[in-house]
Amino acid sequence: MDGLIAIATEDFSLFHDLVGLLRERGEPFVSLRPGDPVPSNVAVVVCSAGEGGLIGFAPVVEDPDPETALLKALSLREDCEDAILVAGVDPGMRPGYALMMKGRTLAKGSLDGPEGIAAVLLSARQGVSPPGVLLRIGHGDPVNRDRCIRAAWPLVDEVQVVDEARTSGKSPLDHLQAAESIARGEGRRLADMPRPSSTRGGLRDLQRESRRVSGDITISAALAEEVALGGLSMDEAIERQRLRAGARRPGPSL
């Protein structure tokens, strides 16, 4: 289905967030007031809960969450309601992800950490109610790859590990393009969720990442291992290391 997405709501916060998301995607849209005539080039209208009866148009998406509402609207416009949802992930400390249905990208972005994929998948499942969800993830960065898989495991029907050769780049945009390429590929299906594990190299990477994130704190190898195993977030590990450093600091001389 071709056409624009229209925003028709008196909810300023929802309107503001939807505009930001649409502009971020480079997605053209029109803004209306509930009850305004809907232009012929509009494919779907998004509004807040309770405003749908004022629109006089179908399909209409009523949802208070902007990201969920946009996913619903895009899936309706692209006629993807009954298609499998494919999530492609380019693994790393801040993974790139892409959500696709019928080969069309509905959303993409970067996560604050590997476990963040769970919230993205949960929102997507609520938004488009797909008949199934497939996670395709790049084979590189085993520590963070497996953290993503373990976080996503309860929310997906199948996990495939894809050879990501030539899909990853150096810029954030490359990271997102890599996630899209991974989503379009096919990989080795995992029969079981990977066990938590860590390597020396992986722990050193996490320690370097803690310095980058905090600016002045390097977490211990023990804390890095807890992060690798999913027991702590990076922010929690940094805060623990900071508290330990403060406790060891000598007090003022009298």
Domain ranges, ordered by start, for the chain = 4-77, 85-189, 200-248
Give the CATH superfamily of 85-189. Answer: YqgF/RNase H-like domain (3.30.420.140)
pLDDT band at 87 (very low <50, low <70, confident <90, very high): very high
Average pLDDT, the chain: 87
Q: pTM for the complete prediction?
A: 0.75
What integer pLDDT is reported at residue 232 of this predicted model?
79
What integer pLDDT is reported at residue 187 of this predicted model?
93
Which whole number is the average pLDDT over 21-39?
A: 90
Are both 4-77 and 85-189 of the same fold? Answer: no
Q: Judging by beta carbons within 10 Å of its beta carbon (0-12, 13-18, 19+), is residue 124 exposed, middle or buried?
A: buried
Q: What is the pLDDT of residues 137-163, one digit of tens each?
A: 999 888 888 889 999 999 999 999 998
Based on its alpha-carbon atoms, the radius of gyration of the chain, rounded to whole angstroms, reads 21
Q: What is the pLDDT of residues 41-60, one digit of tens each?
A: 999 999 998 899 899 898 99
Q: With a cut of 60, say whether residue 251 has pLDDT above it.
A: no
- CATH number for 4-77 (one of 3.40.190.10, 3.40.50.2300, 3.40.50.720, 3.30.70.260): it is 3.40.50.2300
Q: With a cut of 70, say whether residue 168 has pLDDT above it.
A: no
Q: With a cut of 70, say whether residue 88 has pLDDT above it.
A: yes
